[in-house]
Chain A
Amino acid sequence: MNRQNETILKVDDVYLSYGHVEALKGVSLEVKRGEIVVLVGANGAGKTSIMESILGVYQSRKGTVTFKDKNVTNLSADKIVRKGIYLVPEGRGVFASMTVIDNLLLGAHHNLKNAKAKLTYVYDLFPILSERRNQIAGTLSGGERQMLAIARALMSNPEMIMVDEPSIGLAPKIVSDIFKILKELNKEGYSILLSEQNVYKALKLSHRGYVLETGKVVLTGTSEELLINPEIRKAYLGA
């Protein structure tokens, strides 16, 4: 698993439009194995669009997505999930009317054989989910839902997890917990593509970052570089 510096995901010149609205105008980026890469940008910059086009939710108009040296451009989302990419959607995307365990099993929908072992693994990681396994997900707190969404991603046996705006609507303490979990997961070998409004925290956590504006990458570099970049400091860090 630890073949460092090997590119696991490569997005090359991807264009995506919703009707007449161009959401992505030639985005290129890559994630190396074992990296946490953060996407930074205002609302509407295209962070979610990038994740959804990688996942194959929308067909991109142009460009290619390569995962583990295989062209996965415009495969359907369920096929992408089988390849080892899983999205933790913005707003968690937890199924509120279903139990915690049902939500977890949905993550393993394509691979139920190993579900038991996976359940033990995620319960170990998130004991609170084990306690609430038979509870309806709609009754969970925001932080617990985020944990459930991440745990569901782990159930799918992914190699890369995309996490879209995990901190939205959560108290600072919970956000720190979630970020700690992401760091742990990364240490275990998962590659992570993160989109985040909390730029400071995200850059502190990640290895590299891409700054997006209106569907284009305008800046990229290591997180250390980005943290001291004057434009970034002015636009996102309030300095």
Chain B
Amino acid sequence: MEIFIAQIINGISLGSIYVLLVTGFNLLLLVAMIIHFSFPIVVVLSMYVSWIVLGLTGNNIFLGVIAGIVSAILINIITAPMFQHIMKKRGDVDINSTMVLSMGIGMIITDFLSHSVNSGFPIAFPDNLTGRNLGAFFQIGMISISRGDMISLSMGIVFVLGLFWILYKTRAGRAFRAIAEDPAGAKLVGIPILKTGLQSYAMTGVLGGVSAVSIAILLGSASPGLGDQLGHKVLAVSIIAGLGNLKGGLIIGILLGILEALVQGYWSGTWSNSIAFVVMLLAILIKPKGIFGIKL
């Protein structure tokens, strides 16, 4: 029972990262009309930037965190004009073309990370960021939650709540959801499509930065292949929940995190990815349109 509780807590903190990434992916898909499955790869690049800055500043946490978030926003701004060009010509350009652009961005980043940073070896984040050296944040019997887990868990909860608050309680969020449900109809009722698309793009930049920091704290390391791995999961969660289904993504994201944590707790960490995908494969076979239905 104690392992179970510990792993549920771990699962929620891992799951909240998936939720941030999946929601970012869904927003880009629905509002900006960008199929950006390399979004998690961009997030991993921000983790690397944060790591480099930590190295240069003698592990100054504040600067490291700022670097992670700012770099995600910067990468976002730099890549925006390319996507914006496609968004402007939405009527004429197939949105599948954004997929090619995303793929290209992903490949360049992964290639760069595997050749030019740390000779392609995995990077480890310093203890003062992850809190590993301080031992458990609290320990009751066999339940032991590290300080890092606690921070990433609280960050995850705060930002997921904040994100859904923006989506469901603000003017911009209302416009996001309207465009997500019916882009042509949203245009008819006077919502500026391009501007709102750019807003959603900017928001995913911030989300990406927060996720980067959160992943760094939770996993404590990163490798060039991490982005691909996360990318696959984000795409899978998004499709299993029902492509574009924001609330579905929230639930499935958390469930995937818990599933992985339980496999790690009771069986073997090395198998958690494969098992996660077997379960997701079964889910998609049973519910081909996603558990909560496609919202496109």
Contact = CB atoms under 8 A, between A and B. Distances in A.
Nearest to B192: A78
Contacts of B188: 52, 55, 57, 77, 87, 89, 93
Contacts of B78: none
B42 interface: no
B181 A95 contact: yes
A78 B191 contact: yes
Nearest to A92: B185
Which of A55, A96, A98, A109 is most buried by chain B, counting CB atoms within 10 A of its CB?
A109
Contacts of A96: 181
Interface string B158-189: 00000000000001001101100110011111
Which of A76, A95, A102, A152 is most buried by chain B, counting CB atoms within 10 A of its CB?
A95
B295 A97 contact: yes
Interface in A17-63: 52, 55, 57
Contacts of A76: 192
A107 B177 CA distance: 14
Interface string A124-166: 0000000000000000000000000000100010000000000
Contact of A93 (B174, B182, B195): B182
Which of B182, B188, B192, B195 is most buried by chain A, counting CB atoms within 10 A of its CB?
B188
B175 A106 contact: yes
B190 interface: yes
Given A106-B175, A106-B178, A112-B171, A95 B190 contact: no
A47 to B, nearest CB: 15
A85 to B, nearest CB: 9
Interface size class of B (residues with CB under 8 A): 10 to 19
Contact of B174 (A86, A89, A109, A110): A109
Contacts of A82: 190
A109 B181 contact: no
A112 B175 CA distance: 13
Contacts of B186: 106
A81 interface: yes
A98 B185 CA distance: 13
A30 to B, nearest CB: 23
A72 interface: no
Contacts of A119: none
Contacts of A87: 188-189
Contact of A80 (B175, B185, B190, B191): B190
A134 B162 CA distance: 21
Nearest to A52: B188
Contact of A109 (B182, B185, B189, B295): B189
6 contacts: A87-B188, A89-B185, A96-B181, A106-B174, A106-B175, A107-B189
Given A97-B181, A106-B189, A152-B189, 16 more contacts: A76-B192, A78-B192, A78-B195, A80-B190, A81-B189, A86-B189, A86-B190, A87-B189, A89-B188, A89-B189, A95-B181, A98-B174, A107-B189, A109-B171, A109-B190, A110-B190
